[in-house]
Chains A and B, each alone.
Chain A
C-alpha cells in the first residue's frame, strides 16, 4: 500500500516515533514499531507471561492496545504539524485465542479526514513461523488541532 498517501508534515516519521516513545505503557509491555509509512504503522509485541488472561493467552486488552496504537499512529502520520491524535471509538472482534510467541498489529488508514480518520488494524499471532489472524479493529481517530503532542503532557 506504499505511496497511497502523502504525509503533509515533513517531520511525520520523527513525530510518530517520538510520540510512541512517550507512551510509557508501550515500554511497560515491550512493544515497538517495526514499520512505518504514510498511512500505515506496524507494532510488534513478544509474548510475555505477565500480560495474560486466565487461560495463559495474551489478554484482550493488550491485543486491543497494540491494535489501537497501530491504527492511531497510522492516522497520526497523515496529520498536520502541531496536532495531536486522540482515539474516539473502536470496535474489536477477537476471533481466535491469541496464542503465539510474537504478535504483530498492522494499522492502516481507510479514510483520512480533516478532523476524523477511519482506520483499521489487524493483529496476527506468530507461532512456529506461521502468522494467524487473531483480532480485527475498526477505529475512529481524531486530529486535535492546535495541541502539540508534547504540550499536552499533564503529569510530571
Chain B
C-alpha cells in the first residue's frame, strides 16, 4: 500500500483511485470495492449508484475541471484529490483555494500527480493537508523540510486568512 503525507505525518493510503483504462467509459466502468476516489466524470454519471454503496467517497478534480461544477455535491466527499499533471502546472493551487475559501470544504484535500518536495509549502498554504508525493521522492525529507520552509507569510491564504500587515503588533 502506498504511503502519503497527511497532516504532517507519513501514513498508509487507504484509498483506491479509480482510473479509466482505455475503452472504459464513466457510465460502464466497474466500481471497485472500498473507499474510492472517483474521477469527476464517473461521479457525475453514477452519483446515485456511488452513494448507494455506503462507502466513503472521494473525488478527483483533474486539470481543466472546475470545482464549481461539483460545488453542491461537496458534502458527499471525505477526500477531494486535486491532480497536478506537471508540478509547474499550477491550476490546482486555485482549485484548492476555492475548495477551502469559497466552499469551506472541511474534508481532506489531497495533492496527487507530479507532487514534488519544493511545492509542498505553497500547497499547504492554499489548503492541501494530504500529499501523495511523486514516486521516488523521500517522504521523510518532505516532512522534515518541505512543509516548513518559511516561518511566516506576507499575504493571506487558506492557512492564514489574515495578511501579515493586519497581524503586525506594532
Bound together: no
Chain A interfacial positions (CB closer than 8 Å to B):
none
Chain B interfacial positions (CB closer than 8 Å to A):
none
